[in-house]
Amino acid sequence: MFHCHGWGVFFCAALTGAKLVFSGRYSAEETQPLVDLLISEKVTMTCGAPAIFMPMLHYIKTLKDKPHFNNLRMLSGATAPPVSVMKDYAEMGADIIHAYGATETTPIVSLNFLKPTLSHLSEEEKWTLRLKQGCPVPFVSWKILDATGKEVPRDGESVGEGHYRGPWITASYYNDERSKDAFTEDGYWKSGDALTVDKYGYLKVTDRFKDVIKSGGEWISSIDLENAIMAHPNVVEASVAGIPHPKWEERPLALVVLAKTGEKVMEEDILNFIMPKFAKWQLPDRILFVDGIPKTSVGKFSKKDIRKEYGNFYSKQENSDLISCKQ
């Protein structure tokens, strides 16, 4: 039950007398029942994650008559949804609202909404804000600290670890030695998430510290790479992990699941698509097209399993290149 907290939001429907729609069994490979129910029952609020919302969108794109949702709000957790997915749903009358939290925060830290004082921003600036994890909710105390323990500046670029404290934030782990390292003396929980905060107070998770790709003394965000790749119209899913490299410590490796459109997509197509958004050294050394990407029980990409399966990928490639040179 460690991942159940977010679903407590549906108790609010019962408390307010709203209609509840139960989907029954479904899978990421077969999202038609979800889409059909959203349309037929005129659902106005639902919860999920990009791992479900993206396959739903790909199914919708196969429909001859595209639906128009009546002010549907889609509360999204887990990884950040790609902006291309958010825009496609917006064209159909659905608003993806990104929320951020963890099991230890039972479950919420922040929620993304546009502050009334920011209505003057351009549309692209608003979309940039909506990609972030949003603003901390009332009663949550927070700070983002760098490696020296100082708060990072609110410039949207400086990265630190998120620390949280509040009435519903876990204060310790029961009978667990990890508590002394996971909590500060003044009661803040150390999230292990790498974040920035901008001048408007919006948080952005750039990665888990354990998933940040450390290459040649520089850090590369796997999340930013994933979102950029998933914006490609022929990509269903993409996950990027730091794989050990004999020269650069780690290099990004991208696993990509393509949409079944029949259109041929090559590594170069993906790289050319994302190249304008990244420095050359940030790009994945290789992009592998796969049938599926390992996931955790809550639908997140399992970087641990990816690193385990592909841990020797670059070292084998290096050895293969050396053998070829000798020949």
Q: What is the CATH number of the domain that holds 91?
A: 3.40.50.980
Spell out the residues 6+ positions from residue 238 whose beta carbon is closer than 8 angstroms to its own: 225, 226, 229, 230, 254, 255, 256, 257, 293
In a shared domain, residues 202 and 226: no
Judge whether 110 lies within some domain. no
Phi, psi of 32 (to 5 degrees): -55, -45
CA–CA separation, 204 and 133 (whole Å): 5
Judge whether 82 lies within some domain. yes
- Residue 141: Cβ within 10 Å count: 13
Q: Is the pTM of this model over 0.85?
A: no
In a shared domain, residues 255 and 187: no
- Read off the pLDDT band of 17 (50, 70, 90): very high
Q: What is the largest CA-CA distance in the chain?
A: 75
Domain final residue, candidates 208, 239, 256: 208
Comparing 26-40, 85-99, 150-164, the range with the smallest average pLDDT is 26-40
Q: Is the peptide bond before 136 cis (omega within 30 degrees of 0)?
A: no
Judge whether 232 lies within some domain. yes
Instruction: Decide: helix, strand or coil at residue 85.
Output: helix
The tokens describing 156, both together, are: 């949207």
pLDDT value for 326 = 39
In a shared domain, residues 94 and 15: yes
8 A C-beta contact, residue 284 and residue 252 = yes
Judge whether 118 lies within some domain. no
Select from 234, 154, 141 the least CA-distant residue to 184.
141
Place of tokens 């709203």: 18
Q: For the segment 154-201, what is each residue's pLDDT rounded down to a tens digit? A: 999 999 999 999 999 999 999 999 999 999 999 999 999 999 999 999
CATH number of the domain bearing residue 201: 2.30.38.10
- Read off the pLDDT band of 106 (50, 70, 90): confident
Report the relative pairing of strands 235-245 and 203-208 from DSSP bridges.
unpaired
- Read off the pLDDT band of 4 (50, 70, 90): low
Q: Which whole number is the average pLDDT over 20-26?
A: 85
Domain count, the chain: 3
- Read off the pLDDT band of 310 (50, 70, 90): very high
Which of the pair, 84 or 285, is modelled with greater confidence?
A: 285
In a shared domain, residues 69 and 38: yes
Report the relative pairing of strands 235-245 and 249-258 from DSSP bridges.
antiparallel
